[in-house]
Structure 1
Amino acid sequence: MINIFKSFNPLNVLWLAILVFIFRIGYIAEAPDKLQFISVEPFARLLLPVGYEYAFSPFENVFIAGLLILSQAVLLNFLVNKYNLLGRSTFLPSLMYVTVTALFPQFLILSAPLLCNFLLIWMLFKLFSFYKGEDAKSTAYDLGMIVAIGTVIYLPYVYLFLAIWIGLIIFKPFNWREWISGVLGYATVFFFFAVFYYLNNRLGSFYQIWAPLGTKFPNSINIKYLNYLVLVPVIVIIGLFLFYFQKNYYKSYVQVRKSFQLLLVIFVIGGLSFYVKSRFSLTHFILCAVPSSVFLAYYFVNASRKWFYESLYLLLLISIIYFQFNTF
C-alpha cells in the first residue's frame, strides 16, 4: 500500500476514494438514527435562523464527510508537493490524511472542526509563502480574516491566530506592520458582526462571544484508555518520524526546516485548544490531522525497510477497522 502511494500517480485518487469508503463501512453499519451537525457557533446563529442540525440522514452525513476529507487530502497533498516538504512528489500525505481522519468514529461525521481543516490548509498555503514573499502585510491581513471565519465556525479555532505571529517570527524579520495587519484582518470580520448585533439590538451581549476563552484548563478528563489503543501505531510512527527528521535536519532546505517547525506549532495549538468547549469531544482533535499527516508521510518517504513500514501501516489499518467495531 505504501509503495503505491510513494509514486506520484493521479490514479492514486481512486485508491484514496476506496480507502475513504472502507474506513466508513463499520461506522455506517452501527450509526445512530440521527447525527447532529452544527456548522457555526451559537453567536452566529442569527445569520442562519433555519434549523439544519438534522438535515442529513446518517448515511448522507458520513458520505458528505467522506467527500470533504477526500477533497482535503488532495489539497494537502498539493500543498506538501508544492513546497517540496518531503523532498519528492508523492501521494503519501493524502494517504496519511485519509488514515488519520479515520482513527476515531467522531472523525467520520460532519463537524465544525472538519470544515475548519479547509481553512487550516488555506492558511498553510499563505504561511509558507512568507518565506519568499517580500511584503507580508496583505498576506497577514488575509490570514487574520481566515482565522476570524474559522472562529465563527468553531470558537477554539481562534487560537490559530497565534500561528500567524509565530509564522512571521519563523519566516520573516520583525515588522510591526505585518503583525498589526493580522489583527486588522481578524477585526474586519468581527466589525461586521458587531454591526449585525447592533442592528438586532444585541450589541450589549457582543463581548460574550469570547467568554468561553476564560474557561480554566481542566485538571482531569474522564476517558476510557482502552479506546485509545488505536493511537499506539501512530505514536510509533511519529517517534520514527522524529528520528529521521533530526537525522536529516541540517541536510534539508531552510524553508523545509522552518515549515516543519510551524507545523509542529500548529499541532500543539490544535491539540491544546480543546478546553474552550465545555464538553470534551474527540471531534476537536481532527484539527491535528493536517500537521500529523505530514509527519507520518515524512517517515514513510524516508523509510527503507519495505517489510517493516508496510507491516506498520497494515497494523494501523487493522487497528482502525477493529476499533470501529469494538468499543470498551
Structure 2
Amino acid sequence: MLNKFRGVTPDVVILIVVISILIWIGAFLEPHPPSSLDFENRSMPLFSLLLSITGFNALVSVIAAFFLVLLTAFLLVNFNTSVFFIGARTFLPALIFVLFTGLFPEQQMMNPVLPASIFLILALRRIIDAYKAQGTAYSLYDAGFLLSVGSLFYANFIWFGILLIAGIALLRTGNLREIVISLLGLATPWFLVFGFYYVLGKDLNGLNELIRYNLSGKESGFALSRVTIAVLIIDTIILLISTANLITVINKKKIRSRKTFVLLIWAFLIAIGTVIFVRSVSVEIFWLAAVPASYFISHYFVFAGRRRIIPEVYFLILFLGIALTQVLHHIQ
C-alpha cells in the first residue's frame, strides 16, 4: 500500500483526491458554519472578507475549505519538487496532510488557520529562496509580507514571523539590512490595513481591540473525544519516530535540504509553542503544525519504508486511525 503512494503517477493523484473526498464527505453531508466554533466572532479582516464571499453558508464554506485543503496539498508537493529537500519526488506530503485534516472532524469547516497554512508554505519557500542569493536577499521581504497577510486571516499566525529570524540565522550571514527588510515585509500589510481603515473613516480603535482580542483576549477551549485522543497519541508517536529518523540522517543531506528541514522544525516548534503559551490558541493550530509534520512523516515513509515492514504498518495505522475517527464521529 505504501509503495503505491510513494509513486508520482497520475493514478496516485486521483487516489489522493478520492481519499480527500471520503475524509470530508461527512462534513459535506453535515456541514457546520464557522460560527459553530466561534470562528465568525470578531474575526480578522481578511477572514471576515472570506466569509462574506462564501455568503456565510455552511455548505459553501465547507466546500471552499475543502478546496483550500487541496490547494495546500498541492503546494506541499510543489515545495518539495522545487527545492527537492526530501530527496525524492513524492505525493506523500499531500496525502499525509489530507489524512491529518480528518483527525478533528469538528474542525472540517472554513476556519482562519486554513488559509494561513497556505501562506506558511509560500513564506517558507521564499525564505529558502534566500539561500545563496547574491547581495541582499529581497525574498525575505516577500516572506515577511506573506506571513503578515496570513496573520490577517489568523492573528496568532504573526508568531510565525520568528521564522524570518531563524531563516536569516540559518541561510544568511546576519546582514542587518536583511533583518530590516524582513521586518518591513512583516509590517507592510498591517500598514495597508490601518491606512485603509483611516482613509475610509473606519473605527481604528475597534481594529486595535479586534487584534488584541484575537491575540490575547479570546479564550480557547476544545473538548476531544476519547477516540480522537487515542488516535492523536498514536499519530504523535509516529511523528516522533519520523522526526527521530530524520535527525539521525539530516547531516548526510545536502546543505540546502538540511537547512530546509531545520526551518520546518522551527515551524513545528512555533506551532507547539503557541498552543502552550498563548491562551487564545487552541486545537485549530494543527492546520499549521500539519505542514511540517507532513514532511517529516513523508521522509520517513519514503526512505525507511524501503528497508522495513514497520513503516508499512505505521502507514496502515495512520490510515485506519483517521477512518475510525471519522466513522465514529458521524455515527454518534
Assess, with a 3 A threshold, how the Cα gap between structure 1 residues 50 and 101 changes in structure 2: closer, same or farther.
closer
Q: How far apart, CA to CA, are the structure 1 residues paired with 2:17 and 2:229?
A: 26
Alignment of 1:1-328 (within 5 A): 1-29=1-29, 31=30, 34-36=33-35, 42=43, 44=45, 48=49, 55-58=56-59, 60-199=60-199, 200=201, 202-212=203-213, 215=216, 223-224=223-224, 226=226, 227-274=228-275, 276=278, 278=280, 281-303=282-304, 304-305=306-307, 307-326=309-328
Q: How far apart, CA to CA, are the structure 2 residues paired with 1:46 and 1:289?
A: 20
Give identity over the alignment, percent.
Answer: 26
Cα offset, 1:114, TM superposition: 0.6
Greater Cα shift, 180-189 or 233-242: 233-242
Cα offset, 1:32, TM superposition: 5.3
Question: What letter corresponds to residue 112 of structure 1 in structure 2?
Answer: P
> Under a length normalisation based on structure 1, what TM-score does the superposition of the two structures give?
0.86
Q: Report if aligned partners of 2:96, 2:298 keep a CA contact under 8 Å in 1.
A: yes
Assess, with a 3 A threshold, how the Cα gap between structure 1 residues 237 and 129 changes in structure 2: closer, same or farther.
same
> Under a length normalisation based on structure 2, what TM-score does the superposition of the two structures give?
0.85
Q: Report if aligned partners of 1:197, 1:203 keep a CA contact under 8 Å in 2.
A: yes
Q: How far apart, CA to CA, are the structure 1 residues paired with 2:33 and 2:205?
A: 36
Cα offset, 1:41, TM superposition: 6.1
Assess, with a 3 A threshold, how the Cα gap between structure 1 residues 247 and 41 changes in structure 2: closer, same or farther.
same
Please, what is the CA RMSD of the aligned residues?
Answer: 3.1
Report how many residues are paired. Answer: 324
Which sections of structure 2, spanning at least 5 residues, go unmatched? none
Q: Report if aligned partners of 2:47, 2:112 keep a CA contact under 8 Å in 1.
A: no
Assess, with a 3 A threshold, how the Cα gap between structure 1 residues 85 and 216 changes in structure 2: closer, same or farther.
same
Cα offset, 1:314, TM superposition: 1.6
Q: How far apart, CA to CA, are the structure 2 residues paired with 1:290 and 1:173?
A: 27
Cα offset, 1:273, TM superposition: 2.4
Q: How far apart, CA to CA, are the structure 1 residues paired with 2:51 and 2:16?
A: 35
Greater Cα shift, 318-327 or 45-54: 45-54
Which sections of structure 1, spanning at least 5 residues, go unmatched? none
Greater Cα shift, 195-204 or 80-89: 195-204
Cα offset, 1:73, TM superposition: 0.9
Q: How far apart, CA to CA, are the structure 2 residues paired with 1:98 and 1:49?
A: 22
Q: Report if aligned partners of 2:33, 2:58 keep a CA contact under 8 Å in 1.
A: yes
Q: How far apart, CA to CA, are the structure 1 residues paired with 2:321 and 2:177?
A: 49
Q: How far apart, CA to CA, are the structure 1 residues paired with 2:6 and 2:314?
A: 15
Cα offset, 1:53, TM superposition: 7.1
Greater Cα shift, 114-123 or 100-109: 100-109
Cα offset, 1:54, TM superposition: 5.7
Describe the SS at the equivalent of 2:152.
helix
Assess, with a 3 A threshold, how the Cα gap between structure 1 residues 256 and 32 changes in structure 2: closer, same or farther.
closer
Q: How far apart, CA to CA, are the structure 1 residues paired with 2:82 and 2:9?
A: 15
Question: What letter corresponds to residue 322 of structure 1 in structure 2?
Answer: L
Q: Report if aligned partners of 1:81, 1:89 keep a CA contact under 8 Å in 2.
A: yes
Cα offset, 1:136, TM superposition: 4.3
Q: Report if aligned partners of 2:46, 2:152 keep a CA contact under 8 Å in 1.
A: no
Cα offset, 1:182, TM superposition: 1.4
Assess, with a 3 A threshold, how the Cα gap between structure 1 residues 65 and 43 changes in structure 2: closer, same or farther.
closer
Question: What letter corresponds to residue 25 of structure 1 in structure 2?
Answer: I
Q: How far apart, CA to CA, are the structure 1 residues paired with 2:296 and 2:35?
A: 31
Describe the SS at the equivalent of 1:111.
coil
Question: What letter corresponds to residue 84 of structure 1 in structure 2?
Answer: F
